[in-house]
Amino acid sequence: MRNLVKVTIFSTAVILMTSCNFKSKSKSSLTGWNFNDPKYGNFLNGDSFKGQKTPEGMVAVEGGTFTMGQVQDDVMFDWNTTPKQMHIRSFYMDETEVTNEEYHLYLQVTKQVFPPEDEKYKHIYNAALPDTLVWRKSLGNTDLLIENYLRHPAYKDYPVVGVSWLQAVQYCKWRTNAVNMKTLIDKGIMSNVLAADTIRNFFDTDVYLENPYALFEGDSAAYKKGLPVKKIRKKGEPKPVKGSFTGRHVTSSDGVLTQKFRLPTEAEWEYAAKAVVENREYNTVRGRKKYAWNGKYTRDKSQRYKGDQLANFKQGNGDYSGVAGWSSDGSDIPIRVKSYPPNAFGLYDMSGNVSEWVSDVYRQIIDTEANDFNYFRGNYYTKKLIDKDGKVVFVGGEGAPQVAYDTLPNGKIVPKELPGTIKYIPITKEEAYFSGDYSKADNLGKNDGDSNSSRIYDLDEDDRTATKSRMYNSPLKPTVERDTLTGRMVKKYDDAKRFTLISDQSRVYKGGAWSDREYWLDPAQRRFMLEYMTTYDIGFRCATDIVGPLAYKKRRARNPAR
């Protein structure tokens, strides 16, 4: 009996302490108002957020400083990678490239949600398909790879190739929606729409946050219950019907939904690949890394695997894997992911296997006056389209614009937006007027190719014509001639049309591939290709942001008391 009394007293004390702590956390420290209290308006706070969980298949990359563009070899002497010290914020990154199996899941879902036999959806599925003909060689026997590499189970764990930059971006958007939809299903907020034949299982995170009932063709049965909301039930008010949706929907303030998946920036990718964390000594980095691993050679030095290559790359003309019986890198084409040891961040194949798309627009050198904090070239600022009634416009909705398609230079037809998503438009100059850093929506060519950075920016307004204000089509050398009427000396520019491979559609890809020589294994090397083109040696992996602290690990004293 005495023990029972002691247990009761202890339990009561714990409950009281817990309730006191809850009250202190659920109260505004500046106004004294209670959060989540119907007597104070039920205003919400994010007190339930306990830290961000690492997304499936990803590893955390703790941010820091490093020298971007510091290559070991520059045989072309083109200074395409100007060394510059950069700081990178912490982020999550896929530990491997996206595989055929994972991309095939995306294709299956896309085909189910937007069946190609439906006239209004007929181009959406085809736009997502990788180009398997990238394996075709006019003087090579590669039919096996054309027919099997993407879908045969033997290659399911191999990195997907034949995807363009545009397709990789669309996959990242779909992954965001797929992860958030499963989160809502797991929390019981949404019914398992994947198993429901009567509900088209198209889910979009932005649409859900704007208006959950604009999804699933307006079928409210898709939602089971909401997050709990404290209510004061008035006398005589009936109890909620069992099984009906009560509570509220998830908002961005709850910290429940994942951050958006995206392609990593060039700076993030290079930082993650170099993993200079293993060369850190106190607050400095000793030595320079040539590869994703530590050391200056490509062969394993361990006793067990001595002589084996540490990456999948081309070792010489006609030598993709070594002599039979001594396959030094294990594969003559891309190999299954995780076939080689990870780098210091836990990332696989950051040197070799396949090259990878990053999100940046390509320019020949890293900007000498670039932002040294999370550098990125490719910002295009947009906003939601609002109709005359003040409502957000959905693509393909009632009274809204239908799905618009674009025909790429290679002839492929792709949707500009998916039906059911929110319509976005560029911000205006007026909206960016008071901004300190940008003045328009399109910042792809900032300080490179725009009028402010043109070589003839200082010309009078009358002389600055569309044919003269140009960067990559500038004349070789203007001539100075005398005007026969006025006698004045004037500059004359030739009208020759010049062409360049560099444009705002040129996107960076990083890392050496199975078909590359050792030179390209250096993470600082960079190349580019047009965003709609595909090849057999470029894949991709996703990244997403870490919110809150640089690292959730508790800081320890550097000089603990002895």
- What is the full DSSP assignment across 399-421? TSPPPPEEE-TTS-EEESS-TTS
pLDDT score for 17: 44
Q: How far apart are CA 65 and CA 373, in angstroms?
A: 9
479 pLDDT higher than 50: yes
What's the domain count of the chain?
A: 2
**Within a domain: residue 466?**
no
**Within a domain: residue 395?**
yes
Name the amino acid, one letter, at 554: K
pLDDT score for 281: 81
pLDDT score for 111: 93
Please, what's the b/e burial string for 242-262 (b: 16 or more CB within 10 A of its CB; e: otherwise)? eeebeeebbeeeebbbbbbbb
127 pLDDT higher than 90: yes
Region 428-457: what's the mean pLDDT?
Answer: 75
Region 470-482: what's the mean pLDDT?
Answer: 65
199 pLDDT higher than 90: no
Confidence label for 336 from pLDDT (cuts 50, 70 and 90): very high
pLDDT score for 382: 95
DSSP one-letter string for 167-190: HHHHHHHHHHHHHHHHHHHHTTSB
Alpha-carbon distance values, 525 to 75, 90, 256, 387, 417 (Å) = 11, 22, 38, 47, 33
**Within a domain: residue 408?**
yes
CA atoms within 13 A on the CB side of 394: 17
Region 543-552: what's the mean pLDDT?
Answer: 85
Highest mean pLDDT out of 26-40, 178-192, 200-214, 345-359:
345-359
- Tens digit of pLDDT for each residue in 146-192? 999 999 999 999 999 999 999 999 999 999 999 999 999 999 898 88
466 pLDDT higher than 80: no
- Tens digit of pLDDT for each residue in 218-239? 788 888 888 888 776 666 677 7
pLDDT score for 473: 56
Confidence label for 245 from pLDDT (cuts 50, 70 and 90): confident
pLDDT score for 554: 63
- Tens digit of pLDDT for each residue in 55-114? 999 999 999 999 998 888 888 777 788 888 999 999 999 999 999 999 999 999 999 999
Q: Picking from 2-16, 91-105, 133-147, 300-314, which range would have the lowest pLDDT averaged per residue?
A: 2-16
Q: How far apart are CA 329 and CA 537, in angstroms?
A: 16
Q: How far apart are CA 332 and CA 330, in angstroms?
A: 7
Q: How far apart are CA 502 and CA 80, in angstroms?
A: 13
pLDDT score for 154: 96
**Within a domain: residue 75?**
no
**Within a domain: residue 491?**
no
Region 24-38: what's the mean pLDDT?
Answer: 79
Region 348-372: what's the mean pLDDT?
Answer: 88
pLDDT score for 61: 96
pLDDT score for 7: 47
**Within a domain: residue 15?**
yes
To the nearest whole percent, how much of the chain has pLDDT over 70?
Answer: 81
pLDDT score for 236: 67
556 pLDDT higher than 90: no
Query: What six digits make up the tokens of 142?
Result: 């590669």
Q: Picking from 96-100, 294-298, 459-463, 479-483, which range would have the lowest pLDDT averaged per residue?
A: 459-463
465 pLDDT higher than 70: no
Strands 84-88 and 413-415: unpaired
18 pLDDT higher than 60: no
460 versus 317: the higher-pLDDT residue is: 317
Q: Taking all residues of the chain, what is their mean pLDDT, rounded to a whole number? A: 84
Which among 149, 109, 120 is positioned nearest to 133, based on CA atoms?
149
Q: Picking from 348-357, 425-434, 456-465, 531-540, which range would have the lowest pLDDT averaged per residue?
A: 456-465
pLDDT score for 284: 81
Name the amino acid, one letter, at 307: G
Q: Picking from 36-45, 116-125, 237-246, 293-302, which range would have the lowest pLDDT averaged per residue?
A: 237-246
**Within a domain: residue 318?**
no
547 pLDDT higher than 70: yes
End-of-domain residue from the set 442, 458, 492: 442
pLDDT score for 19: 41
Region 294-300: what's the mean pLDDT?
Answer: 86
Confidence label for 20 from pLDDT (cuts 50, 70 and 90): very low
Q: How far apart are CA 260 and CA 369, in angstroms?
A: 29
326 versus 116: the higher-pLDDT residue is: 116
172 versus 561: the higher-pLDDT residue is: 172
Domain range for 23 is 2-40
Euclidean distance between the first and final Cα of the chain, in Å?
48
pLDDT score for 467: 45
| HEC-encoded secondary structure of 281-342 | ECCEECCCCCCCCCCCCCECCCCCCCCCECCCCCCECCECCCCCCCCCCCCCCCCCCCCCCC
Which among 25, 68, 19, 42 is positioned nearest to 367, based on CA atoms?
68
Highest mean pLDDT out of 182-196, 209-223, 333-347:
333-347
**Within a domain: residue 36?**
yes
Confidence label for 517 from pLDDT (cuts 50, 70 and 90): very high
Q: Picking from 176-180, 281-285, 296-300, 518-522, which range would have the lowest pLDDT averaged per residue?
A: 281-285
From the number of C-beta atoms within 10 Å of its C-beta (0-12, 13-18, 19+), residue 146 rates as middle
Q: How far apart are CA 65 and CA 101, in angstroms?
A: 35
